[in-house]
Amino acid sequence: MGEAPPNALDKISSNKPALNKTALNKKTITRPALASDDPLSGLLQKTGLWRASSLGADYKQHCSTGFTRLDQELPGTGWPADGVTEFLHDRAGIGELRLLAPALARMTHEQNRWVLFVSPPYIPYPPALAQAGIDLARVIVSQPKAPK
């Protein structure tokens, strides 16, 4: 087997969408360009939707995690203050809620904001939430009947 002619790779990749390059902490990442009429393009431009590919983006607002070392590692030095935060991990019930508890306590008391748990793997234990300083009157747990 020989080496592919230089134009062979161009022909293979010619069916791929155009790529935009975005600088990220002195590294370059690429992602497909979105057409302006794409229904996702408007959603992706809003600040309420954070994407992992946007790690270098500045948040307009952030909320400290309550853990100095974690704040230093997160873009914007904390959780995004607007939008949805989702935790994905291999196992549930390993104390992941402890990462959010300080921020949730501040949000429910100081900012009078609501906390919504959608289909949590386990029902949050109210006495533990209260002990963590979370205002239970500002917590909603939603368990949809069937996934869509």
Q: What is the pLDDT of residues 79-121, one digit of tens each?
A: 877 767 777 788 888 888 898 999 999 999 998 999 999 888 8
Percent of the chain with pLDDT over 70: 57
* Residue ranges of domains in the chain: 86-148
Encoded amino acid at 94, one letter: I
Rounded CA gap, 143 and 128, in Å?
A: 20
Domain 86-148 CATH superfamily = P-loop containing nucleotide triphosphate hydrolases (3.40.50.300)
pLDDT at 131 over 90: yes
- Classified as helix, coil or strand, 28 is strand
105, 81 in Cβ contact below 8 A? no
pTM: predicted TM-score of the whole model, two decimal places: 0.57
pLDDT at 17 over 90: no
- Residue 62: both structure tokens together: 């952030």
